[in-house]
Each structure stands twice: as structure tokens, then as C-alpha cells.
Chains A and B, each alone.
Chain A
Amino acid sequence: MAPTVSTAHKDLLVVQNLKTYFPVRSGVFQRVSAWVKAVDDVSFTVREGETFGLVGESGCGKTTVSRSILRLIPTQGGSVFFDGQEVFRLRSQELKALRRHMQIVFQDPYSSLDPRMPVGDIIAESLLIHGVKNRSERNAAVQEMLAKVGLNPYHAHRYPHEFSGGQRQRIGIARALALNPRFIVCDEPVSALDVSIQSQILNLLKDLQREYGFSYLFVAHDLSVVEHISDRVGVMYLGKLVEMAPRESLFIEPLHPYTRALMSAIPVPDPRRRRERIVLKGEVPSPLNPPSGCRFHPRCPIAQEVCGKVEPAFTEKRPDHWVACHLV
């Protein structure tokens, strides 16, 4: 049912050695005393028409990755190429032109829509910003987008507070679609919704992808959601990508011990089947002061001496299956 796993597809988005650090300021003069390495040296690609899932627990930097790519927050290093253009080098006008092609759908459907603006205006505003001056043209586009996401034309006059969470998420998707983008960041688009609504939104996202052929960077912490929607999956831990593979190979044969622990936490709807649950010890260390060597080693069930000293390289251990671990 998914598009064939596809080295044939062209790379649309290339992220190279992305580093996003947040300064910690202290003292009277607000001097930078330390850096929180939220994203530290992350590289991956998103291919044309595919869905790249990014998973990891809270605070691992997956949302930061998505915001960095869109240049919504400043980065400390690395580069992002979108269709050959280097995003971090663009001047403001070029960046604005590029924003047409890269859009975002947010996690919280309550804060992602301006409460004082009718839904139609929210969707039309991005068109206005990108120079669609003709009002009736904008209105037509709004009607079309509302229909695409399964809302009614008369909803355009209503305010966000008149909608349910799922409906608001549809509005957020309509807003992202309005500019006809080629790449959409979905930042945990369903984690704030009821389970029954989640599947509706996921299917909507899939249908739209089939129709328009854009790529998704799908950020989530729910593995079953990621399995449902992704073509390839990246697993993050403490600001680093630890594993990246096509969905099938990742879910059938996870290589990194962290990914294995994550997989073992997926509940199986079969009361008779006992699963080997790998329970990680300890807490996630602070990204302010990450562990030496492999960042996962203090919690890793199979850690050896080398893991605390040498940082493992991110290498292709199987075809298209990348892992950062000494022991795989």
C-alpha cells in the first residue's frame, strides 16, 4: 500500500550535519554560559513523494529538527538543501519564495489558529502574503481547500473556537495546503487528538499525499502512527539520529538497542502473547551535559567499555539501513 521503497525517487530535502543549540544565559550581563545541544549533528534525506517519520521520546530534539529545517529557529551549523537550494543561505526574499514549497502542520490545534480570525481568512492569508491580490481568487482557493480537507464552504466564516480539535487540525492542514507546497512538516499532527480522530486525520494526510505527491516529514512519538504512515523512519535519541531505515526493515529488525527498547514498548493486542519488554534503566540525560561517547551508553543494556569513550559513527549496516552503534 505504501509507495515502493524507492532509491529511484529523487532527494527533495537533504539535511546535513544539522546542529541546533540553545544558549543558556546567566548572570547580570546575560552571558551565554552553556549550550543545550538540542540537535547535534543530524543528517538525513527526505525523498520526493515519501513520508519520512521521525520518532523519539519527548525532548530528543525531533521538533527542533523540524523547526530548524523551516528556518523558524536559528541553527548553529550544518546545512539543509531543498531541491538543491541551500535553505540557510537564502536572503529574505528568496526564503519567502521558498516558503511556498515548505509548510508545517502543528501539534496543538488550539494554539495554531489565530482565535480572532475567521477560518477563511486564516487560510487566505498565506495566499495574500504570496501575492494573490484578487479576492475572489482567494475565496475560490479557500473553498477548494476546505472541501479538500472535508469541511464545508460555510465554515469559512466561523472562528476557530467553534470547531472541535479534529476539525481545527483539518483547518491547519488546509492552511498548509493553500500554497500548494511540495514538502510539509507534520509536527505531531495527531498526538493531541482522540484516537478515533487520529485515524481520520492520518488517512486524510495520506489521501492528500496520493493526490498531490508532496513529501512529509512526520514527527511523532507514537510508533504505531509512524508505522502506519511512514515510508522511512529515523529514530532520535538525545539530539542524535541513532537509526534510519525503511519502515519494514526498522519494524521487523531494529538494530540499535534503543530502537529495540522502543519497539518492545509497542502494546500488542493479544493477551496470550508475552513480549520481551526491554525496560531501560534511568532517565534521559540532560542535553546540557550529554554523556561521553555514545549518548545512549549509560542506559544501554548491552553497553561495553568502548561505548563510553568513542562516539559511534552513523553507518549503513544494511542496504539503506543506517545505525549509530559500535556493537551492531
Chain B
Amino acid sequence: MSVSAESLTLRKLPREGKEESQFQIVLRRFLRHRLAVASVAVIVVLFVAALLAPLVAPFPRDAVDIAVATRPGPPGTMSSQGEMHPLGVDHLGRDLFTRLLYGARVSLSIAFIVVVVSELFGVVLGAVAGFMGGWFDTVISRLVEFLLSIPTLPILLITASILIKTEAQLPLPAVATDFVSWMLAAPIQEANKVVVLMAILILLGWTGAARLMRGMALTLRNQDFVEALRAVGASNTRIIFRHIIPNGLAPILVNASLGLAGIVIAEATLSFLGVGVQEPTPSWGNMLSTAQSYMFQHPWLPLIPGIPLCLVTIAFNFIGDGLRDALDPRLKR
């Protein structure tokens, strides 16, 4: 019986060259998740808009239009040169649409850099801790527990206010700050402050990935294929980086996409409280913060950064959901 079953499956399987890779399988399953696909579209549009901000934006980022009579001005306010401010102007007379685009660039850049770096840290530390065990695992696990047990917001507030108000400089290579400055489309001095903010978010943000990866490593290291690798003499580095991490990556991807939403919100929260991204660098958070003072007279003002903020957060969450479903090994095909 089993013999014939074996030959049957053989005939049914695609021939060489047409094999579906694991990536294709995941992609196919992800594409079935409508909301996730729509969310990807939203993120892509926002991304392109943010990337093209210097080209698309109708005004320079910090240009103040003092001739505008009503500040803040509602959408459709005309400038002194007779051009329209599509989303109006803020209390200083700066074009809100322009600042929203640049703000998107800042907010999304922060989210991506922070998530990529912190997941990388978390994955490597978690995998090594889980696989090697011993004192290293104890140190990492206690550190993760410590970081998770302290309330995040006060810590963020304290560290951010100390570092940002003192204009601390991180000892980073010039390439890194140049890169951030390009990502933000902002001058180096502004980028430096954002780098500090990102560092704080990374420092508190790697724990989730580390815990996930440690758990995966703990189960994976007892699998026979790891024993087989030891039996052929594979080094620990090879086992961790070529086998443990690729096998534990699925939940990390989900965690990362949810983390993106979390970081966008965290940045907005800090900026809203005045210790995040500092003026004149625009971010959705500090736009909300300034809008707050005027929102009883001009209720549309907080909606301008608020709606895209909501959209992005929801979109990242849906992408996370879609990834979770697509990567779930229990679901077949």
C-alpha cells in the first residue's frame, strides 16, 4: 500500500524547475489575506510618498507663510503667492501637507530602523542564549525580564528627556548618521537627535524578539537534525546562524511587523510628550503635539497627522496577522 502511495505522490509532484520554494508557498498564502494585501498597498503608497517628499511637497519643509491671515489655517487656505495649502497651515504658517510628508518620512524611517536593528539584536542574542544555555542564557534572560518588568513609558520619558535635552552624541560612524540624515531628509544636527531617540527605542525594544528566538532555539536544539549536525562536526556558529535562526524566523517576522506599529506609536507618544523628535524636524507625533493646543478651535488639526498614524498602525497589524497565517506551519497549502 505504502509503496504505491509513494509512486503516486512522485508522479503528482512537479518536475524539476517548477518546484515551489517555501517563499512562494508563503507568498501565495499571504496573498489570500485580503486585508493584509490592502495594508501592504497602504504602506507602499505612504512609503513612496515619504520617499518622494522633497519632490512632491509643494513648499519647503520649514517655510513660514506669514502672510496667511489665519494661523492655523484650514485645508484650502491660499498662500500669499496665491498657491493653495491643500491641508492648510499650522500655527506658524507652515504648509501642513508638506510637513505631513516629511513627517511620514521621519516616523516611518524611525520605525524601520528601530525594528530592523532591534530584531537583529534580539534574534542573535536570543538564539545564542537559547542554544548555548549556561551563564550567557541566564544573563540574557534576566536582562530581558528586567527590561520587560519596568514600565516602558516612564523609562522612555526619563532617558529621552535626559539625552535629548542634553544633546548627547552617540559614538557612531559618520556613515550611520549620514544614512539616518538621508532617511529623514533632514540635516545632520537634527538627525543626531533622532539617532539618540532610536537608540533608546532599540535598547528597550529588542527583548520581544530575544524571548521569541530563545524559545525557538530551546525547542530546536533538541531536534535530531541539530544532533546530526554535531555528528558531522558543524560549529556552533554554523548551527545557530544556518539552522536555528532560519527555523525560528517565522514568529520573528510577525513580531517585527507588529513591532513596526508599536514603534510608530512609541515615537508619536514621545514626540507628543515633547521628548521625541524635536522641532523643526517634523514627525507625526510632534505635529499632534502642536495640534493639541489648538484643537478646540480647530478640530481638524489633530486629524491631519492622526488619520495616517491610525492607518499605518492598523496596516502593520494586519500585515502581521497575514504573515502569521501565511507562516503557520500547521496550515497546509
**Interfacial chain A residues near B182, Cβ < 8 Å:** none
- Neighbour of A125 across the interface among B5, B19, B224, B234, CB < 8 A: B234
Which of B3, B225, B227, B243 has the largest number of chain A CB atoms within 10 A?
B225
**Which residues of A, 104-146, contact B by the 8 Å Cβ criterion?**
104, 106-108, 111-117, 125-126, 129-130
**Contact B243–A114 (Cβ < 8 Å):** yes
Q: Whole-angstrom distance from the CB of B235 to the nearest CB of chain A?
A: 8
A72 touches B230 (CB 8 A): yes
Whether B227 lies near A104 (C-beta < 8 A) is yes
Shortest Cβ gap from B307 to chain A (Å): 40
Closest residue of chain A to B6 (Cβ to Cβ) is: A164
Chain A neighbourhood of B228, CB < 8 A = 104, 106, 112, 172, 175
The interface-forming segment of B8-16, B206-214, B266-274 is: B8-16
Query: Is A96 among interface residues, defined by CB-CB distance under 8 A?
Result: yes
* CB atoms of B233 and A95 under 8 A apart: yes
**Could you say which residues of chain A place their CB within 8 Å of the CB of B235?**
129
Q: In the bound complex, do residue B2 and residue A167 qualify as a contact, i.e. CB atoms below 8 Å apart?
A: no
- Compute how far the CA of A196 lies from the CA of B3 in the bound complex, rounded to whole angstroms: 8
- In chain B, what residue has the closest Cβ to A106? B224
Tell me if A167 and B6 are in contact (CB < 8 A). Answer: yes
CA distance A130 to B5 in the complex (A): 37
B1: which A residues are within 8 A, CB to CB? 196
The answer for the CA separation of A175 and B231 in the assembled complex, in Å, is: 11
User: What's the nearest-Cβ distance from chain B to residue A179, in Å?
Assistant: 7
Distance in angstroms from A325 CB to nearest chain B CB is: 34
Q: Considering only CB atoms, which chain A residue lies closest to B228 in the complex?
A: A112
Number of residues of chain A lying within 8 A (CB) of chain B = 38
Q: What CA separation (Å) do A108 and B227 show in the bound complex?
A: 12
- Which A residues touch B246, using CB under 8 A? 116-117
Q: Is A154 an interface residue (CB 8 A)?
A: yes
Given the complex, which residues of B lie within 8 Å of A51, measured CB to CB?
Answer: none
Does the CB pair A164–B9 fall under 8 Å? Answer: yes
Q: Is the CB of A112 within 8 A of B233?
A: no
Contact B13 A115 (CB under 8 A): no
Interface string of B199-211 (1 = CB under 8 A from A): 0000000000000
* A116 and B232 in contact, given A106-B227, A164-B2, A166-B6 (Cβ under 8 angstroms): no
Q: Are A112 and B224 CB-contacts (below 8 A) given A99-B232, A129-B238, A159-B22?
A: yes
Interface hits, A65-109 → B, CB 8 Å: 67, 70, 72, 95-96, 99-100, 102-104, 106-108
> How big is chain B's contact interface, by range?
20 to 34
Which listed residue, A99, A108, A197, touches B2 by the CB 8 Å rule?
A197
Q: Does A194 sit within 8 A of B, measured CB to CB?
A: yes
Query: Is A253 an interface residue, CB under 8 A from the partner?
Result: no
Task: Give the residues in chain A near B13, CB-CB below 8 Å.
Answer: 158, 162
A210 at interface by CB-CB < 8 Å: no
Contact of A113 among B3, B5, B225 (CB under 8 A): B225
Whether B22 contacts A194 by the Cβ 8 Å rule is no
Interchain CB contact (< 8 A) of A194 among B2, B9, B224, B247: B2
Q: Does B223 contact A (CB under 8 A)?
A: yes
In contact, A111 and B19 (Cβ under 8 angstroms) = no
Could you tell me if B233 and A196 are in contact, using CB atoms closer than 8 angstroms?
no
> Once the chains bind, are B233 and A99 in contact (CB under 8 Å)?
yes
Taking a contact as CB atoms under 8 Å apart, the answer to whether A116 and B16 are in contact is no
Min CB gap A112→B, angstroms? 4
A151 → chain B closest CB, angstroms: 10
A228 touches B (CB below 8 Å): no
Set A129, A164, A166, A196: member contacting B232, Cβ < 8 A: A129
Residue among B16, B227, B234 making CB contact with A129, cutoff 8 Å: B234
**In whole angstroms, how far apart are the Cα atoms of A159 and B228 in the complex?**
17
Nearest CB on B from A170, distance (A): 11
On whether the beta carbons of A103 and B225 are closer than 8 Å, the reply is no
Instruction: Decide yes or no whether A157 CB sits under 8 A from chain B.
Output: yes
B19 with A158: CB separation less than 8 A: yes
Tell me, in angstroms, the Cα distance from A194 to B229 when the chains sit together. Answer: 26
Contact between B19 and A157, CB atoms less than 8 A apart = yes
**Contact across chains for A116 and B227 when beta carbons are under 8 A apart:** no
| A108 to chain B: closest residue by CB | B224
Closest to B10 in A: A152
Further contacts, 12 of them, CB under 8 A, given A116-B247, A164-B2, A194-B2: A72-B227, A72-B230, A95-B233, A104-B231, A106-B227, A129-B235, A130-B233, A157-B16, A157-B19, A158-B19, A175-B232, A179-B232
Give the A-binding residues of B (Cβ under 8 A).
1-3, 5-6, 9, 13, 15-16, 19, 22, 223-225, 227-235, 238, 242-243, 246-247
- A contacts, CB < 8 Å to B: 67, 70, 72, 95-96, 99-100, 102-104, 106-108, 111-117, 125-126, 129-130, 154, 157-159, 162, 164, 166-167, 172, 175, 179, 194, 196-197
Q: Please name 18 pairs of A and B residues whose Cβ atoms are closer than 8 Å in the assembled complex, sorted by A.
A: A67-B227, A70-B231, A72-B227, A72-B230, A103-B232, A104-B228, A106-B224, A112-B224, A113-B225, A116-B22, A116-B246, A126-B234, A129-B233, A129-B238, A157-B16, A158-B13, A164-B2, A175-B232
4 smallest CB-CB distances across A and B, nearest first, come from A154-B16, A112-B224, A126-B232, A96-B233
